Amino acid sequence: MKNFTTLNDIFYYAKKNYGSRETFLAKDEKKVFKGTTFGDAFHQAENLGLSLLQLGLQPGDRVGLMADNRTEWAIADMAVLLNGAIDVPRGSDSTPQEIQYILEHSESRFCFVEHEKLYESLKPILPSTKVEKTIILDPNFKPKDANVYSMADLIKDGESLRKNLPSLELRAKQVKPDDLFTIIYTSGTTGMPKGVMLTHQNMVYNVLKVPPKVGLATGDRTLSILPVWHIFERAIDYSVLSEGASIAYTNVRDLRDDFVKIKPTFMASAPRLWENLYLGIKQKLEKAPDNKRKLFEFAYDVCKKWRDGSDYLSGNKLFVTEETPFERAKNTAVALASSINLFIPAKILDGVVFSKIREVLGGELHGTISGGGALPSHVDEFFNVIGIPVYEGYGMTECAPIISVRSVGKVIQGSVGAWPEGTAVKILNEQGEVVPRGKMGVIHVKGPQVMKGYYKNEEATSKTLKDGWMNTGDLGFISFNDTLSVRGRVKDTVVLLGGENVEPVPIENLLLENGHINQVIVVGQDQKSLTALIWPDKERLKESGITFQEGEDLNQNKEVRNFYQNIIKKQISSENGFKSFEKLTDFRFLPKAMEVGDELTNLYKMKRNVIHDKYKSLISSMY
């Protein structure tokens, strides 16, 4: 029985139980994975922690951690937490202005920086902050400036300080569950970033509750592709440490190769990754010979029908309304027939067809988590049909981050699973009244994972937290399966001139499903109708025989516009359940793709306010 109360408890537990296991795998210059045991990494963290202690780091100090996915990040993180200090992380792709704001607002005294290039870009802004010591993670860095250190040197220096180890251990043990371990500044889709204060208890609760739900266990191999500073990735990584699993650091460029090299058994990522994998498989199928494509389509149809039947019988079909006895009897009969009659054909076809697709992803994935945004329903269905269960979760930085997640044996599509024991969820309408199951409202959550508040921002804290309940700002409902379903953001809702409220996400997801659209945002606030901004998939456009010139303004190309007009008309139609006011009356092509750090957050969520401001004139041209 694990009885962690702080993250430091997890580190010492992992040292005792999994010290000899290779926990961290990172690539060398030749792109070969090199492993580091947890025992070795923790020894380095202790040495670094001792050097930080000698340099004057105090419990409760804030420490900037501006770096990316690598073993050194985990070592720096542990060293800070062992000292009872609080890390303030961000990726190296952040702008100097963002980092300046974060360091100033958090009043960080120490700052870890990824490499010399980033340090040089920060030199002009560091004097305006309270940073006294800067530490560079890159092991090849040679310090030249005063109060700038190489992390590798500090780790080496720490070896001679190990006589002071009892002092560091005392600091680590004096940390209380309610003490902060991090302040994460939300990249956010609106306004200035807010510093989310998370305690050791917030994270430990998730580390204890989530692995059993999703089947993460000792010996599992995970691929880390999300930004390591992001709370979703951190929750997975701390869970990996607590279970004796391993983390291999990868990136988008090397991901396909690394699936084969690492053969991950478990993985967590944002919906964008699963969507890209789905589109890649779909495009290969479209180019495949007719016989192979038809075999896949036949296998998919059979396996989907079998899964639909077995899902119904096992209680894994989403119920928004309660079944009548007659409906239950009828549905049970249909489900029994398909699950029995199609069992053997589905198993054979799965082995013949889908096992080859699973091999592309390493062949050993027993589970995946999708979080940080809504997973498109067609992508969700696809991976579950081909035998890779997706445990879609729901959460936010303010909840460290898990609010709910699907679990092994309970993959209910259309839901984000049930909330863990100890968490309470309620849905409120506009009058602040609790609504019954199946009814939409604003999701509120209460539990040990809910943040302490926003750093130095009482106004924002009081708006979000009331009597321990957190207003998520998300729209959703509780199903008759007692699971949570999320349907969008309150702030995303587009209110038309006629007063109609429209959720843009379902429209955007259906347009993306077509495959000829890479990015889309639906707009129309205070206008008569909805319109959209689109970034097309130009490769798919060429494959469809549509002619255009590179660099051409596609808004002036009638053939291209007609092609996309037909896609929009077909997808957003009455046949697909859309009302007249939910249909798009016009669209424009964006001049360039939306990018992380500009129009997108690190999890590829659209910053709607930024997009509206940036393309104000383009939007106006549609009205």
For the packed helices 271-287 and 377-385, what is the interaxial angle rounded to 10 degrees?
Answer: 70
pLDDT at position 498 is 74
Side chain identity, residue 281: I
Tokens of 287: 């180019």
The count of domains in the chain is 2
| Residue-wise pLDDT tens digits, 387-439 | 999 999 999 999 999 999 999 999 999 999 999 999 999 999 989 999 999 99
Residue 304, in any domain of the structure: no
What pLDDT is recorded for position 189?
45
Nearest to 70 by CA among 264, 268, 237: 237
Within-domain flag for 271: no
Q: Which of 252, 270, 292 is a domain's end point?
A: 252
Q: Spell 502-511 as b/e; 16+ CB within 10 A means b.
A: bbbbbbbbbb
Other beta carbons within 10 angstroms of residue 195's beta carbon come to 20
Question: Helices 7-18 & 200-214, crossing angle to 10 degrees?
Answer: 50
| Closest CA relative to residue 63, chosen from 91, 82, 88 | 88
Contact 471, 429 (CB under 8 A): no
- What totals of helices (H) and strands (E) does the chain contain, helices first? 22, 26
Is residue 238 a part of any domain in this protein?
yes
**At 536, is the secondary structure helix, strand, or coil?**
strand
Q: Are 441 and 347 in contact (CB under 8 A)?
A: no
Angle at 490 between CA 576 and CA 441, to 5 degrees: 80
3-state per-residue secondary structure call for 494-534: EECCCCCEECHHHHHHHHHHCCCEEEEEEECCCCCCEEEEE
* Amino acid identity for residue 65 in this structure: L
How confident is the model at residue 188, as a pLDDT? 52
Report the C-alpha gap between 413 and 390 in whole angstroms.
9
Q: At 302, which helix (H) or strand (E)?
A: helix 290-313
d(CA 209, CA 592): 42
Classify residue 596: in a domain, yes or no: yes
Would 597 be classed as within a structural domain?
yes
Q: How far is CA 422 from CA 1, 67, 471, 487, in A?
A: 17, 34, 18, 24
Q: Which stretches of the chain drop beneath a pLDDT of 70? A: 187-191
Smallest Cα–Cα separation from 572: which of 509, 524, 620?
509
Residue 113, phi then psi, degrees to nearest 5? -130, 140
**pLDDT at res. 495:** 79
End-to-end CA distance of the chain: 62
Query: In which residue are the tokens 């396996």 written?
Result: 303
With beta carbons less than 8 A apart as the criterion, state whether 240 and 220 touch. Answer: yes
The two tokens of residue 319 are 């119920």
* Structure confidence at residue 491 (pLDDT): 78
Distance, in Å, from the CA atom of 383 to the CA atom of 279, rounded to the nearest integer, reads: 12
Q: Are the beta carbons of 509 and 379 closer than 8 angstroms?
A: no
Among the residues of 144-199, which ranges form H helices? 151-159, 165-174
The 3-class SS string of 603-620 reads CCCECHHHHHHHCHHHHH
Q: Is 487 exposed, middle or buried (0-12, 13-18, 19+ CB in 10 A)?
A: middle
Beta bridge partners of 589: 534
Phi and psi, residue 153, nearest 5°: -65, -40
pLDDT at 494: 87
CA proximity to 58, closest of 5, 129, 133, 8 = 133
Please enumerate in sequence order all residues whose Cβ is within 8 A of that of 278, keeping only pairs 6 or more positions apart, or say none. 378, 379, 382, 383
- Whether the CB-CB separation of 183 and 86 falls below 8 Å is answered with yes
509 in a domain, yes or no?
yes
Give 544-581 as a DSSP string: TT----TT--GGG-HHHHHHHHHHHHHHSSGGGT--GG
Contacts by residues 150-155 (CB-CB < 8 Å, ≥ 24 positions apart):
151/48, 151/72, 151/75, 151/76, 151/112, 154/47, 154/48, 154/51, 154/52, 155/44, 155/47, 155/48, 155/51, 155/75
Q: The tokens 């079909």 sit on which residue? A: 317
Residue 571: inside a domain: yes
Residue with tokens 């019988």: 313
Cα–Cα dist 483/489, whole Å = 18
The domain that holds 129 is classified in CATH as 3.40.50.12780
The pLDDT value given to residue 607 = 87
86 half-sphere exposure, CB direction, 13 A CA radius: 25
Answer whether 143's CB lies under 8 Å from 134's CB. Answer: no
Domain of residue 508, CATH code: 3.30.300.30
User: Would the CA dihedral through 146, 151, 154, 156 be positive or negative?
Assistant: negative
Quote the domain boundaries for residue 74.
Answer: 7-175+225-252
- Out of 252, 287, 316, pick the residue that ends a domain: 252
